Amino acid sequence: MRRIRIVVAYDGTEFHGWQVQPGLPTVQGWLEKVAAEIEGAPVKVHGSGRTDAGVHALGQVAAFSIRNPIPCSNLRKAMNRLLPRAIRVLEASEAAQDFHPRYHAHSKTYEYRIWREEVCPPHRRLYLCHFPYPLHEERMMELAPLFEGEHDFSAFAAADERDELGGSKVRRIFESRMRREGAELVFRVRGSGFLKHMVRMMAGALVEAGKGNLRREEFQARLEPGFAGKAGPAMPASGLFLVSVEYES
């Protein structure tokens, strides 16, 4: 049995997220369908994590086991021939038998993109959040690094079916920055792991601060254990990209 590691990019617009859902198109569902067709038997594909409906990926990592001796370069080509155009396997390689893309990940990097001008180019509308209204962008840039370090992100997490397992919602953020790129305001964050809707709610809190609705101390309070309520609204899924997943070399 071979363990195959793949790097996948996808436009999440037409999918109901990563995770398989009966009767709905998902990225994991498509990858398992295509891998099974090549293998001639059911194949379980594990991802580095779940992305929500409408969220995009530039470098999602996944893995599966097969017996088919097809070379990795040909496997990548075969999968791309069978996949919808909105999903592409960028890389395929042999991995250790015990490799798991989620449990072995060291960190993940996300970007959230906000279009700031009055008119959003129509060909970009599915890959941005259009927000042409006044924002104190300098304040947002000053507050973004406050996410760095180890914090309880309970206030930045949507309800999840895994909550009943009682897992910790403490996460370590290695880097958190907001910058301007032309007409776009880009929030880039790299951390040990992320909760459901966490990055979208982090971006939402920054936007609330930029609108003048959150003072610095109120912003910081949302990172304290026991904060009552949620940090703020989750920004639309269309602006979020999973940029990369990093592993120890």
Which residue(s) pair with 223 in the sheet? none
Contacts of residue 158, defined as CB under 8 A and 6 or more positions apart, other chains included, come to 195, 196, 197, 201, 234
Inter-residue contact 140 to 207 (CB < 8 Å): yes
Q: How far apart are the first and last CA of the chain?
A: 24
Give me the catalytic one of 52, 98, 160, 163.
Answer: 52
- According to DSSP, residue 233 is labeled P
Alpha-carbon distance values, 139 to 5, 59, 113, 219, 240 (Å): 41, 30, 17, 11, 21
Q: Can you tell me the distance from the alpha carbon of 68 to that of 97, in angstroms, rounded to the nearest whole number?
A: 15
Secondary structure (3-state) at 235: coil
Please give the helix or strand (H or E) that residue 89 lies within, else none.
Answer: strand 87-95
Is residue 163 among the annotated active site residues?
no
Tokens for 175, please give them.
């880097």
Phi, psi of 199 (to 5 degrees): -65, -40
Which residues are 245's β-sheet partners?
108
CA dihedral 81, 103, 192, 124 (to 10 degrees): 20
Residues carrying an active site annotation: 52
